[in-house]
């Protein structure tokens, strides 16, 4: 006597029933495999193990209507792949069906460019202090030597800017170089204020520009340190500039949802929001922990790095 049975099944969301022949001594797992073979084109990229099967009673089924598990009152999910089909009761009754539910098609998460995500631009947000230690509340006292040196350099920088001299020779970097715990981050946090403080009454235009500058604080330390999957230093800086404009966002969520931007693209968002020409804008970018941008972790201790 044969133990082969014919099981009728429906694909959720469709209305056409199909049949598969299988031994009643086989298991739910075998039934999944048999259905996958029968539906080899439909489930070509889906493993049999990812199919969900339900035993359902559908009296007087409307063959013109797509089947939905939500509309079926009597149903049982077949979760035990080792269960013999013979243990599931009658699978051959006129009103009995196996409902096959396939997993949703996987759609890779697409990151948005910041231009797509923020078509109207973003408003400027003031930076937070780079440090969060108790020292952030200490009164900051810039030395007269620092103010004098900075005054000369900032004025020269501004003269070159007005003359249209944008070569890197005339656009200096302002670096704080020292050992751990010597105040680099605090000095960097105060750079904007110090640059204004060093000027005199004769520097009216320059002072106005600096007072209205967009200041960005980027920290590559602690909670906003470089992540393992960030392999472009410029983009890493741009992402943290964007984070400043989204004060309620978390870095991990932002890196997941948006393409890592160039710093210039972040500045364009702010300029667009205020309908302002970026060429007429003043920007101060402070980056703390630049040694973290090196690919070679020993480079910072080598003389030739």
* pLDDT confidence of residue 106: 45
63-83 pLDDT tens trace: 888 899 989 999 999 999 999
Domains of the chain: total: 2
What is the average pLDDT across 271-287?
A: 94
222-277 pLDDT tens trace: 889 988 888 899 999 999 999 999 988 999 989 989 999 999 999 999 999 999 99
- Among the candidates 74, 101, 128, a domain finishes at 101
- Confidence check: pLDDT of 18 > 60: yes
Range with lowest mean pLDDT among 144-153, 182-191, 193-202 = 182-191
Is 164 within the bounds of a domain? Answer: yes
Is 180 within the bounds of a domain? Answer: yes
Cα 169 from Cα 296, distance rounded (Å): 27
The reply to whether 148 and 265 lie within a common domain is yes
| Cβ neighbours of residue 87 closer than 8 Å, sequence gap 6 or more | none
Is 142 within the bounds of a domain? Answer: yes
The reply to whether 121 and 69 lie within a common domain is no
- Confidence check: pLDDT of 41 > 50: yes
Is 107 within the bounds of a domain? Answer: no
The reply to whether 160 and 296 lie within a common domain is yes
Range with lowest mean pLDDT among 11-20, 26-35, 103-112, 206-215 = 103-112
- Among the candidates 41, 70, 101, a domain finishes at 101
* pLDDT confidence of residue 259: 94
Q: Percent of the chain scored above 70 by pLDDT? A: 92
- Confidence check: pLDDT of 299 > 90: no
Is 109 within the bounds of a domain? Answer: no
The reply to whether 77 and 118 lie within a common domain is no
Cα 21 from Cα 30, distance rounded (Å): 11
The reply to whether 95 and 194 lie within a common domain is no
The reply to whether 188 and 247 lie within a common domain is yes
* pLDDT confidence of residue 302: 52
The reply to whether 136 and 231 lie within a common domain is yes
* pLDDT confidence of residue 166: 85
Range with lowest mean pLDDT among 13-17, 34-38, 136-140, 247-251 = 136-140
The reply to whether 177 and 221 lie within a common domain is yes
Cα 269 from Cα 275, distance rounded (Å): 10
Is 176 within the bounds of a domain? Answer: yes
- Confidence check: pLDDT of 301 > 60: no
Provide the domain limits for residue 86: 4-101
Q: How is residue 254 annotated by DSSP?
A: H
The reply to whether 262 and 218 lie within a common domain is yes
- Across the chain, mean pLDDT equals 88
Question: CATH number, domain at 60?
Answer: 3.10.20.90
* pLDDT confidence of residue 109: 65
* Alpha helix ranges (H) inside the chain: 28-38, 114-117, 144-162, 184-189, 191-197, 204-211, 233-245, 251-257, 263-273
The reply to whether 74 and 221 lie within a common domain is no
R_g of the chain computed on alpha carbons: 33
Looking at mean pLDDT, say which of 41-50, 177-186, 240-249 comes out highest. Answer: 240-249
- Among the candidates 51, 76, 101, a domain finishes at 101
């Amino acid at each position: 006597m044969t133990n082969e049975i014919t099981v009728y099944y429906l694909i959720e969301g469709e209305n056409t029933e199909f049949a598969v022949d299988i031994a009643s001594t086989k298991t739910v797992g075998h039934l999944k495999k048999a259905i996958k073979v029968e539906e080899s084109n439909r489930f070509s990229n889906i493993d049999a193990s990812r199919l969900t099967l339900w035993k359902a009673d559908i009296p007087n089924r409307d063959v013109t209507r797509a089947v939905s598990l939500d509309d079926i009152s009597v149903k049982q999910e077949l979760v035990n792949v080792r269960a013999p089909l013979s243990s599931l009761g009658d699978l051959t009754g006129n009103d009995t069906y196996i409902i096959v539910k396939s997993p949703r098609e996987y759609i890779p998460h697409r990151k948005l460019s910041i231009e797509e995500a923020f078509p109207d631009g973003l408003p400027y947000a003031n930076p937070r202090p780079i440090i969060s230690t108790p020292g952030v509340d200490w009164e900051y006292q810039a030395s007269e030597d620092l103010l004098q040196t900075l005054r000369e350099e900032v004025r020269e920088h501004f003269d070159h800017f007005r003359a249209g001299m944008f070569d890197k020779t005339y656009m200096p970097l302002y670096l704080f170089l020292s050992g751990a715990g010597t105040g680099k981050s605090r000095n960097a946090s105060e750079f904007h204020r110090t640059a204004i403080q060093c000027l005199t009454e004769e520097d009216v235009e320059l002072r106005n520009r600096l007072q209205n500058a967009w200041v960005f604080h980027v920290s590559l330390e602690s909670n906003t340190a470089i992540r393992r999957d960030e392999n472009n230093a410029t983009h890493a800086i741009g992402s943290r500039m964007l984070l400043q404009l989204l004060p309620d966002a978390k870095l991990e969520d932002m890196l997941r949802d948006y393409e890592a931007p160039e710093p210039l693209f972040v500045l364009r968002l702010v300029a667009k929001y205020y309908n302002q020409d970026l060429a007429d804008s003043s920007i101060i970018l402070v980056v703390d922990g630049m040694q973290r941008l090196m690919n070679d972790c020993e480079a910072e201790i080598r003389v030739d790095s």
